[in-house]
Amino acid sequence: MELRNAGVTAPSATGAVTILHPTTLTLTERRISIIGGNGSGKSTLARLINGLVEPSTGSVRITVGPAGSAGEPDRALDTRRDGPAVRRSVGFVFTDPSAQLIMPTAAEDVALSLRRTHPGKRERRAAAVAVLERFGIAGLAEQSVHSLSGGQKQLLAIAAVLAADPAILVADEPTTLLDLRNARRIGELLMALPQQLVLVTHELELAAQADRSLVVDGGRVVFDGDPRDAVAHYRALAERP
Ligand SMILES: Nc1ncnc2c1ncn2[C@@H]1O[C@H](COP(=O)(O)OP(=O)(O)OP(=O)(O)O)[C@@H](O)[C@H]1O
């Protein structure tokens, strides 16, 4: 994925405010973490990648291989021009899983993600249960999504997003609501994904497991490089008077 001078502004009573200063980045590593203080611009940066936020200046492009067509050249998608294709290629996991669980039961929620790849109802249902099994939550298939615990909801939300087999996964603080055990489990799951992962997190141990880390401060990427150095940079920023 590539950001070229991608900046974000928002209108305000006193004129446009800058949320993300023009940023240029080429992100090719498999696991990229984004850390920084509250309100620094991490979510905005993450949302640029799947087009949930459009750049006010510059451009954001992602390059994906065409699904099921080995041997064909990769396609470059522009988040402003190719919004729907970008959203099909870039899965997004929100901090609050309730924001994305929209079907009555766990199995139905996963099945919704499979409607393109599995047009037949029975076949889709079997595939949805197989996805739940892979995530260790097949026992919850018929349970109302409202009755699930926070950790179960987050696992289900991630399962539903990954069921659509996105080329890239962007996860915005996906472990924030979880207890230690579930946070660890979901962190391990995310880090082991074959897909490219962009992970916004306040969990510095998890952030340090990435291949590359970005530190965001005041709407700018102020550090870009080795995750352990990034964590040290962020700690130093947090200790500023
Ligand atoms: N649409 C908008 N209009 C005005 N201000 C916005 C808008 N979106 C974000 N902001 C502001 O931009 C700043 C960065 O927001 P962002 O959500 O990217 O921060 P963050 O680093 O993810 O923070 P947190 O860790 O608290 O989730 C914040 O001050 C936020 O209030």
The pLDDT tens digits for 194-223 are: 999 999 999 999 999 999 999 999 999 999
Q: Which of 12, 19, 33 to mutate to test the pocket of ligand 1 (most atoms within 8 A of CB)?
A: 19
Cβ 10 under 6 angstroms from ligand 1: yes
Residue 232's pLDDT is: 97
Q: How far is the CA of 41 from the centre of ligand 1 (A)?
A: 6
pTM score of the predicted model: 0.91
172-200 in b/e form (b: 16+ CB < 10 A) is bbbbebbeeebbebbbebbbeeeebbbbb
Domain CATH for 78: 3.40.50.300
Residues with Cβ within 8 Å of 162's Cβ and at least 6 positions away in sequence, in order, are 91, 131, 169, 193, 195
> What's the pLDDT score for residue 134?
85
Among 141, 208, 187, 193, smallest CA distance to 162 is for 193
- Count of the separate structural domains present in the chain: 1
pLDDT tens for 48-94 read 999 999 999 999 999 987 554 455 567 889 999 999 999 989 999 99
**227 Cα to the center of ligand 1, angstroms:** 23
What ipTM was reported for this prediction? 0.95
Range of the domain at 191: 2-238
Atom number in ligand 1 closest to CA 44: 18
What residues pair up with 109 in beta bridges, in sequence order? none
